[in-house]
Amino acid sequence: MDKAEIGLIGLGTMGSNLALNIAEKGHSIAVFNRTVSRVDEFRAGAGQLAERIVPCRDLDELAQAIRPPRPVIIMVAAGTPVDEQIAALRRKLQPNDIVIDAGNANFHDTVRRFKELEGSGLTFIGMGVSGGEEGARHGPSIMVGGTEESWKRVEPVLAAIAARFRGEPCAAWLGPDGAGHFVKTIHNGIEYADMQMIAEIYGILRDGLGMEAKEIAPVFAHWNEGRLNSYLIEITAKVLAADDPKTGRPMVDMILDRAGQKGTGKWSAIEAQQLGVPATTIEAAVAARVLSSFKGERLEAEKMYHDLPTERIGGGREALLADLEFALLAGKIAAYAQGFAIMAGASREFGWNLPMPTIAKIWRAGCIIRSAMLDTMAEALASGGAEENLLMAPAFVALMKESHSSLRRIVARAALAGLPVPALASALGYFDAYRQGRGTSNLIQAQRDFFGAHGFERIDDKGAFHGQWE
Ligand SMILES: NC(=O)c1ccc[n+]([C@@H]2O[C@H](COP(=O)([O-])OP(=O)(O)OC[C@H]3O[C@@H](n4cnc5c(N)ncnc54)[C@H](OP(=O)(O)O)[C@@H]3O)[C@@H](O)[C@H]2O)c1
């Protein structure tokens, strides 16, 4: 076989599927995995694609197997393993070769790795990949950070393996060094918010309306036909319809209510705070996952507060279902507005010049948060008016005007019934605070001046002032 066009290290869930995708698109690929037995196992399971896969037992073999200049994708667990692989590759590769970290790196690590590789002759790319197992296999959304020149070198392969939306590949160069991994992080932050709000709506249907999983599934399936059309709503319907083979009961009812996380949601909230960008819905979603992990404590608290209400929500079911659909729509818009605002903040702070319409475009297919609404967002971001906040784009102003009252009613009714809706409630709070021309921080400024002589601005004069408080 001729030398491979590209290499890949890490044949876990993502790496193995990405490698098959690359091979399927006609590119020969050399692969290596820490647990070496996995390499042969992988090739043996690759069927007809095996002829384009070069199994390598160490990094020397990998370097030998790829045609220079060598692009090598690292798809291993994020953190130290990536540093170890880069250090090992530095010894095996040659100037002009390209190292691509395709895992979920913290963008600060990516920026550091760029600095560390400066002067080494190697080119580095930090690449966010979304779409899970299925996306990696058949077309993920790909967010690239690095030099434009390095992007041009890998663009043909990445565009070929990426998902497509109306024929356009969902892969793009988004900016220098950490830009790609930053955008992937915020993608995941939005994903956390989206999933949490869906879970809250499910909670209202289950506990507020007393519906069984099997009854809730078609509700989500129906919503997926409308404005909420998205991958997450689609899989929610499927998840709720699935049975547990062991008990025959709905699978979702047999799953412990304790959610895991690997860090990208938390990083989104941390970066939002660092950049001074409010992202309350994303933060609420991260906090909700953390609270979900306090299972024992929650069971104790339930006993302690057993006499407080957790009630059914009465009234017409049809009207309530319509409100739930629109509440989710409004909440989702607020969460995306926050996500795009964080990216705008980072773009200013780091001088990245992130292409917002392109980001929305490459999220329209392949990634976990793909939805019909992202197409509208791409248009809104391209046509101007949403530079500061998506909530100011005419299309979203119209959608919020149409849907905010449903969000209000749902948050209010859930609160009265004692049903937790932290992400939806924070989305509403964010929206109401954002659209309030005269807020209440005049009082906070007065308090700060009272106890700390921090000073304040006046509405009728320029300069810094102090009050005579006592
Ligand atoms: N799963 C997803 O949906 C998804 C989506 C987007 C991005 N990601 C990101 O993609 C990356 C890979 O995720 P995954 O889901 O494919 O993980 P995975 O299935 O757990 O596979 C991890 C891979 O990393 C290798 N590895 C772990 N520690 C290593 C070390 N110290 N040195 C060398 N290799 C090491 C493993 O090799 P062994 O076989 O030897 O253990 C394996 O090939 C992560 O950064 C993840 O956050 C995952």
The verdict on 456 and 372 lying in the same domain is: no
Count of beta carbons in the 10 Å neighbourhood of residue 53: 23
The verdict on 314 and 295 lying in the same domain is: yes
Which token pair is 320?
A: 């309530």
Beta 71-74 vs 98-101: how paired, if at all? parallel
CA of 76 to the centre of ligand 1 (A): 4
Peptide bond into 69 cis (omega under 30): yes
Whose alpha carbon is nearest atom 17 of ligand 1? Answer: 12
Q: Write down the pLDDT at residue 42.
A: 98
Q: Write down the pLDDT at residue 312.
A: 87
Residue 86: pLDDT over 90: yes
The answer to whether residues 106 and 184 touch, using CB atoms and an 8 Å cutoff, is no
Residue 387: pLDDT over 90: no
pLDDT digits (tens, 9 = 90+) for 38-61: 999 999 999 999 999 999 999 999
CA of 104 to the centre of ligand 1 (A): 9
CA of 77 to the centre of ligand 1 (A): 4
Beta 141-145 vs 123-130: how paired, if at all? antiparallel
User: Tell me, what CATH number does 306's domain have?
Assistant: 1.10.1040.10
Domain boundary, last residue among 133, 152, 177:
177
Which stretch of 77-91, 262-276, 291-305, 375-389 has the lowest confidence by average pLDDT? 375-389
Query: Which helix (H) or strand (E) covers residue 191, if one does?
Result: helix 179-203
The verdict on 129 and 196 lying in the same domain is: no
The verdict on 447 and 426 lying in the same domain is: no
Whose alpha carbon is nearest atom 27 of ligand 1? Answer: 77
pTM: 0.96
The verdict on 412 and 452 lying in the same domain is: no
Termini Cα distance of the chain: 87
The verdict on 243 and 154 lying in the same domain is: no
pLDDT digits (tens, 9 = 90+) for 246-288: 999 999 999 999 998 889 999 999 999 999 999 999 999 999 9
Domain boundary, last residue among 117, 146, 177:
177
At 461, is the pLDDT very low, low, confident or very high (cuts 50, 70, 90)?
Answer: very high
Residue 309 lies in a domain: yes
Residues paired with 250 in a beta bridge? 243
Residue carrying the six token digits 């692989």: 85
Residue 32: pLDDT over 70: yes
pLDDT digits (tens, 9 = 90+) for 145-174: 999 999 999 999 999 999 999 999 999 999
Residue 1 lies in a domain: no
The verdict on 326 and 241 lying in the same domain is: yes
Residue 16 Cα: closest atom of ligand 1? 16
CA of 164 to the centre of ligand 1 (A): 25
Residue 322 lies in a domain: yes
Residue 309: pLDDT over 80: no
Q: Burial, 229: exposed, middle or buried (Cβ in 10 Å; 0-12, 13-18, 19+)?
A: middle
The verdict on 428 and 447 lying in the same domain is: no
CA of 404 to the centre of ligand 1 (A): 41
Q: What is the CA radius of gyration of the chain?
A: 25
Residue 215: pLDDT over 90: yes
Whose alpha carbon is nearest atom 1 of ligand 1? Answer: 132
Identify the domain containing residue 123 by its residue range: 6-177
Q: Would you name the residues annotated as active-site residues?
A: 184, 191
Using most ligand atoms within 8 A of CB, pick from 14, 41, 73 the residue to mutate for ligand 1: 14
**Minimal CA–CA distance to 395: which of 354, 336, 452, 352?**
336
The answer to whether residues 406 and 431 touch, using CB atoms and an 8 Å cutoff, is no
Residue 103 Cα: closest atom of ligand 1? 45
Give the residues surrounding ligand 1 with Cβ less than 6 Å away: 10-15, 33-35, 38, 75-78, 81, 84, 103-104, 129-130, 132, 262
Whose alpha carbon is nearest atom 4 of ligand 1? Answer: 132
Residue 179 has phi, psi (to 5 degrees) of -60, -45
Q: What is the mean pLDDT of residues 97-117?
A: 97
Q: Write down the pLDDT at residue 1.
A: 62
